């Protein structure tokens, strides 16, 4: 699975980079809980692996609906 990154450079005039980095351990903990299916709300994590489970026909149906919208 691809890694998601966040470009917060536009927020730096308002938030110190050290403040953002201070949250890194908590973000890692939350990431682990989500991918291990532990923690509060773990029964509602079906979306986590959805990109790995979707088939080509469903992707095509989404594209058709998006185009229509």
Q: Determine the pLDDT at residue 20.
A: 87
- Per DSSP, helices labelled H in the chain are 17-22, 24-36, 50-53, 56-68
pTM: predicted TM-score of the whole model, two decimal places: 0.60
pLDDT(4) > 80: no
Q: Determine the pLDDT at residue 58.
A: 92
Q: Determine the pLDDT at residue 10.
A: 92
**Could you report the per-residue pLDDT of 18-65, keeping only the tens digit for each?**
998 999 999 999 999 999 999 899 999 988 888 888 899 999 999 999
């Amino acid at each position: 699975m691809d890694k998601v990154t966040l470009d917060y450079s536009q927020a730096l005039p308002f938030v110190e980079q050290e403040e953002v980095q201070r949250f890194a351990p908590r973000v890692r903990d939350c990431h682990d809980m989500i991918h291990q299916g532990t923690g509060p709300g773990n029964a509602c994590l079906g979306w986590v692996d959805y990109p790995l489970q979707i088939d080509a026909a469903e992707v095509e149906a989404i594209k058709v609906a998006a185009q229509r919208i």
